[in-house]
Chains A and B, each alone.
Chain A
Amino acid sequence: MRDEKSLFINIVALLILSVMAFYIYKVSIDTGSGIKITDNTTPQMRVADRYLNKNVMDGNSKYEWGGSAENTSANIVTSVVVDYRLFDTTLEVIVLFITILGFGFIMPKDKRKINPSTTILYRWSPILMLLMLMIGGYMFINGHLSPGGGFPAGAIISTAVLTGVLAGRRTLNQKKLKIIEAVAGISIFGLGIASYLITGNFFQNFILNDKIGDLFSAGLIPVFYGLIAFKVAAELSNIYFEFYEEC
């Protein structure tokens, strides 16, 4: 890393990048016919409206609008993520799974030296872990009512596992994590197949007629978010274990 702090290279890069940034800024605030952020002043110009009213199917298509996808979830973002785009969400989880698979191939398998934790972290880690597990559980249970959901809840729960790893406490091992991940993943696709058998559409919400705003509402959305939270938590904890190579 010799010429990382070389003045000439930095000045040349700054000049080129500032010219590019100025040009892109001038283009983006231009009032031409391109994409403009200020377009969404009326509801008809918004992305959501175009998304909902897009027409990609002709009259002969056998796919039909079910009519009752989002009438029970209070959080509209959750409706979009879990009702309309559940295929995308499950495939994101599979992308995380493939990341773990790649980790197993590229990480060197020799023993690394690990510094033992201090007494303060060792004694305080169970309290911190309890608080993190509570917040994570609240987030995926209330994902359809308040900001939050499966992915942040999984990240918080895996942070609890990370605290245990850093403190040197034995919490879980990789075998249990793999079992949790497999059960959650199979349950997601099993629910999808069940909804295909019940309603005729893959991943369609088949528990309807709930009262909006209740804790037990929105049909399958809290179930899917709980499963996604456990799968993401298991995968992220697996990453931490791969980095630590212990426990």
Chain B
Amino acid sequence: MSQLFILSSLSLVFIGLFGVLTRKNLIKIFIALNIIETGINLLLVAFGYIENGTTPILTSQDSILKLTSMVDPVPQALVLTSIVIGLGTTAFSLGLAIRYKYNHNSLSIRASEEEEGVKV
């Protein structure tokens, strides 16, 4: 099961890296960066996973005795930080993309070179 988590998070990270390396549209690059972030979040949550684990919530009187069968709460709390920071950076980069489109009239990352007539 843990191999499945490693495989899926790795494949998400590398799909995102492929997008960052080969795409030239800014919006597609931001989407690829978000895919990388999702893969890393999945890996962080997988660090706390145990087989047949339950959610870390005390629901009944005797659930305090089953603390060892609950999944680890600390990585889940850390992922919350990562999600919020990812949202902030995504929103800021989209604002920068609007500014870029306003200045260069294009969303390509080679827009400034194409304007000057550099052969790309």
The chain A residues found within 8 Å of chain B, CB to CB, are 1-4, 9-10, 13-14, 17-18, 20-21, 24-25, 28-29, 37-38, 40-41, 43, 46-48, 51, 74-77, 79-81, 85, 88-89, 92, 95-96, 98-99, 102-103, 106-108, 145-147, 149, 151, 212-213, 239, 242-243
Contact = CB atoms under 8 A, between A and B. Distances in A.
A1 to B, nearest CB: 5
A40 B57 CA distance: 19
Nearest to A212: B58
A34 to B, nearest CB: 13
A74 B58 contact: yes
Contacts, number: 132
Contact of B98 (A24, A47, A107, A151): A107
Given A95-B88, A99-B88, A37 B6 contact: yes
Given A4-B22, A37-B47, A103-B91, A48 B84 contact: no
Contacts of A76: 56-58, 70, 73
Give the size category of B's interface with A.
35 or more
A77 B67 contact: no
A63 B23 CA distance: 52
Given A1-B108, A99-B92, A102-B95, A40 B72 contact: yes
16 contacts: A3-B24, A17-B14, A17-B21, A20-B14, A25-B7, A29-B6, A37-B6, A47-B47, A74-B58, A80-B77, A89-B81, A96-B84, A99-B88, A99-B92, A108-B98, A212-B58
A180 B76 CA distance: 29
- Chain B interface, DSSP helix/strand/loop, else mixed: helix
Nearest to B25: A1
Interface string B13-48: 010011001111100000000000000000000111
Contact of A21 (B10, B24, B49, B99): B10
A238 to B, nearest CB: 10
